[in-house]
Structure 1
Amino acid sequence: MARRLSDTAGVSESFRDLSLFVAAYEERSFTAAALRENATQPGVSQHIRKLEDRLGVRLFTRGTGPVIPTPAGDALYGRAVEILRAREAAERAVRAYGHALEGEVHVGLMPTMTRCALAPALDRFIREQPNVIVRITEAYSAMLTPLTGTGELDFAVVPAFGGTTGLRVQPFLRTAEVLVSAAGSDLPHMGSIRLADLGTLRLALPSPRNTRRQTLETYFASNAVAVERLVELDAMLGTLDLVATGHWMTVLPAIMMANEAERRHFTVTRLADPPLMLELVLIQPLRRSLSAPAAAFLAVLEQETVRLNAGWDREAPAV
């Protein structure tokens, strides 16, 4: 029996070695890895040194700056995250037999997702899983991406990007970009139009820190869209209030304005000749699998998002 307990402790210690190695690899710092994994910097160094001794190879080059993975470290990283994900998935699969869903889910969403899609998804999920606590952080991708990488968020939905170390990225939704103007606008509500045909525009757009900003500027430049005046707002409620005055317009993802087909608080017009699409992706920590509550909430969120986006799946006739 003592031998078995010792073996179990050794396996747990090996997983701890791998967890700290992955943290150091992704953070490029033993100090940052220690903070992330609730350890001490000397403890991280000791675990990684022990792992190196066991494998007989150096995993990092150490100097005065960031720790740099060796080729052996690069090779181990991919395998290590697979092992950690498999272990967590196995543990969750077994626990699922013991009780119904319970626990916490922490999700990161942009205003694109929170304005229309979140409420029906959250209401439905809470009714179906009353013992799960859902926490939502609303922010732009510049904040959500690092929070997901450190594991503070179970998952987040952000615009497609080039990817980064430590994240698993997969497609989530493709939605149209639409022109939003005041309710009394002369533009065709739920129709489509060429922006270049509107003359000079007064636009409220997100700052360059927002992933969509560069895409929008490229679209304007490529399609002869004249912008008379531009105001930068990283505040979605403020942007919509400004548009409601009738003097400004903005470009937003269609999924965010899905309810306007019936509410008509704003005039929503699809961009045409050419259309402009936004690719949203799901990101989650590479080293972790989704918990059962997180996976269940994601499934509901995906279903509600697809339902709301269905009206924009086909091209609207140009006016």
Structure 2
Amino acid sequence: MRFLDFNRSAASVRILVEFGRERGLKPAQLLAGSGLKERDLINPNVELNASQELRAVENLIRACPQSGLGLEVGMRYNFASYGFWGLGLLSSATAADALALALRFIPLTFAYCHISSSLDDEWCTVSFDEPELDLAVQRFLVERDVAAAARLIKETFGSRFVLSKFLLKSTSCVDEAMCTAIENEVGVRPQLGARSNSLSFDRRLLSLALPQANPITVAMCEKACEELIERRRVRSDTAERVRQYLAMTPLHAAPDLAQVADWIGISDRTLKRRLQDEGTTFRALTAEVRGGQAKELLADERLSLTDIAERMGFSDLSSFSQAFKRWFGVAPSALRGDARGGDG
């Protein structure tokens, strides 16, 4: 749950949108259902929650259904993408100091994987445990997080650093040219079908002095990171945590109270009681979140009502219309018609 416990900057979604734009996709298409506008992505004061970025990820995956997509996107990230966190790594005295700072403030990154490091007699290994998300989204995020970390490590530690292993559990076919491009960038070729998602290097390199070390800058960055961690920490009640779960659930997946309770770490009965104490129910929250998602999709004139029904996991347009009427008291066609009339 760690990635949902903190808000994040819009920089990562901006990378997704720029990547999509290069492939002829409109920003609105990639931001659909996220509650974000393109102008939000260049506003330094805008912070978003993880579920908003996940919606953009889902939209990109749907629009670009290619293997290795996460790897290609991950290579777009660099130290500047992470603000003070990235600058702190670059300014650390040694590779070991940079790694310690990175793990200490990992919530300030855009990672969805749980990231940890370990040492044995030969290697220092940074591991990436898969987030519990839809499989296609999970695969993209693992690829992206590992690729972004590989590039960041190479960029931070300098030309003398050698990354020895780039392992992914995924067995999906990845374009040969992409693997070559990654090898040229970080010095090692991705190995698929491995037992872990991880990056490894000779542990002796931890003592490597970094070329841009600056004790004043790193102290300033650590202080800024501490303040950001506190500011971005999500302080939410049970209802808000349920909203977050529903918002990050794929549109086609039916919400399930038992799954939400398990994710929060409480029983079904306790979840129902806490929501009741807060003046709401799981059904009401589902209608709120799913209804909001449906209204955002209705605003996209390129999508027919049948397209929206399918995207939201309904068996047919009739089922979607009935659900929409329960949520808003009108048919989706009527709401879309009213919106057009208002624009006129």
Q: Same fold (TM over 0.5)?
A: no
TM-score normalised to structure 2 length: 0.21
Structure ranking higher in strand proportion: 1
Rg: which structure is higher? 1
Give 1 or 2: higher helix fraction. Answer: 2
